[in-house]
Chains A and B, each alone.
Chain A
Amino acid sequence: MSPEKILKVENLVVTFPAGAGKKVHAVSDVSFELAKGETLGLVGESGCGKSTTGRAIMQLIRPAQGSVNFEGSDLTRVKGKELRRIRQGMQIIFQDPISSLNPRRRLKDIIAEPLDIWSKLESEERYDRVREMCDQVGLDFESVKDRRPHEFSGGQCQRISIARALMLSPKLLICDEPVSALDVSVQAQILNLLRVLKSKYDLSMIFIAHDLAVVKNISTSVAVMYLGRICETADSDTFYTNPAHPYTKALLESVPEPDPSLIGSEGKMRLSGELPSVIDPPSGCKFRTRCPYSQDICAIQEPELVEISAGHKVACHFPISR
């Protein structure tokens, strides 16, 4: 009996107009599931479509095709008030802590915004709820309540964003590179905060990042995206110890070692070349232009995402086996 799924994304396609009637497939045919209480790390290079996937799940960008099933309702089929009501159960935190907060509003109003939208609370109860949430995220409410976003540091802004997102007690939290814009020491604080809040509020998370070390820390499973497609997905242990897709292997080996003298330089796989353009992607396997194992078939046929062991799926004609 598999654990209950909170989110099911099926064949998600997001397109953007690229001028002259052309369309860019920012996300093509992405499917995955998220079990309750799990954290899925969504990783990939800049421009691979991971943020777009996050926003498409939230319906902030409407997907062109596919379905997003959240707790039994397909979000792509609802709109207006209905969508807003169901979507309360999921929230999103963005990368840029400053841009996430309206510069013209004060902290107390920013965090109370979800309450103001959904319920008409007495000012006292509203005040208590905001103060309580500030405690949860480590902000001293009394001393900061009247400040505006530009008076906070990046880490504090991110705490405010988290507080605002949790105000509606969501079940799913999408974190779109929440720590990429922060100092390393602050990153650790925010990640710890997220971990604590996750268990306290019983959250499931999608954690979008390009930093594999950050993802390793927090995820129970990981999915790698390349040019709008998922090329490998596995639980966290398998992913980091036994990657099967050449791209995953290259990504993992590109993580800098604190002490390079401890490991030999041989056997390291390095990626060469640039990320191909999404406007004009390569035929067949999207990764073949940079793959050291590329063969003729890779240019002809696009590999399907197939399960090679329990919970471990790879889209590659020649997966690496150990």
Chain B
Amino acid sequence: MGRVIRFFAKLKSLKLGVGFWLSVAWVALIVLVAIFANLLPLPNPDSALEAPSNLGPSLHHLLGTDNIGRDELSRLIFGSRVSLVVGFGSILLGILLGGLTGILAGYYGKAVDFSLNSLAIIFLAFPQMILILALITFEGRSLLVITVAIGIVGSPLIFRVVRSATQSVASREYVAASKALGASTSRVLLKEIFPNVAMTLSAFVFIAVGVAILAEAGLSFLGLSVPPPTPTWGDMVNVASSELEQNSILWIWPSLALLFTVLSINVVADRLRMKFGIRESFL
């Protein structure tokens, strides 16, 4: 119990600001409702025509209904699953692909770095939309394929970030000291390099998650993400945009959800970077 109190006292002493905590609250809310969506007293997000279409907000349908009478709030909540899974999942994959290769390239340098970096540069020059479309076309529009496609596209960027962070850490004298003490390469990488690279990476990762969520929303707006009836925020904006004359405020809800989520993730990333950025030199 004392430990919990001390933990909160420490959090308070960090002075992260109201904006930070609002952002954390929003992300936490989204994650929680996404996980427990099935337990919430919501109408089925896919059951059409049970209510009149294009209703405005009311007690029964807090955010109204869409063009075929589906509950907008329910769709919003179930739609957050796709955004979160693609956002975090794709970046996790990107970290596994780009992070591992980035550390190796940055640490070993020379031929290892040259070949991996060349690969990354070629990847970055490749039209990424075409890559994603090709994957979707051949492998189908499942949640897994969308996640993997965005993850693959993101990995060379993560590679570049991790590589340059590793290069700067690897030249530090504590790495040389560790080698001099007799640490094996894997120990140097794990104990000296990785914890320092992880700091730099963590700030970038949050921003990347935001970008990935937006990328998925873009795809689903174009009807290229997970197929209907699965609700996605991008698809909901798309539906609402064709119904502007009948229901002029429907587009606001998925747009706000996207805006708040991505903004919150960016604010969290920014504050964390400011507070936990590597502090080495006070001399």
**A→B interface (CB under 8 Å):** 55, 58, 60, 81, 84-85, 87-88, 90-92, 94-96, 98-105, 113-114, 117-118, 149-150, 153-154, 161, 164-165, 167-168, 181
Contact = CB atoms under 8 A, between A and B. Distances in A.
Contacts of B196: 102-104
A91 B281 contact: no
B283 A92 contact: no
B61 to A, nearest CB: 51
Interface residues of B, number: 24
Q: In terms of DSSP, what is the predominant structure of the interface of chain B?
A: helix
23 contacts: A55-B176, A60-B179, A84-B182, A84-B183, A84-B184, A87-B180, A94-B173, A94-B177, A100-B173, A100-B177, A101-B174, A102-B174, A102-B195, A103-B278, A104-B196, A104-B278, A105-B195, A113-B191, A149-B280, A150-B280, A154-B283, A165-B181, A167-B181
A181 B281 CA distance: 13
A100 B179 CA distance: 12
Given A102-B196, A113-B191, 11 more contacts: A60-B180, A84-B183, A84-B184, A87-B182, A88-B182, A94-B177, A102-B192, A104-B278, A117-B181, A118-B182, A150-B280
B282 interface: yes
B3 interface: no
A153 B199 CA distance: 23
Interface of B: 172-174, 176-184, 187, 191-192, 195-196, 199, 278-283
Nearest to B181: A114
B280 A92 contact: no
Q: In the complex, which of the residues B177, B184, B196 has the most CB atoms of chain A within 10 Å of its own CB atom?
A: B177
Contacts of B184: 81, 84, 117
A99 B172 contact: yes
Q: In the complex, which of the residues A99, A102, A113 has the most CB atoms of chain B within 10 Å of its own CB atom?
A: A102
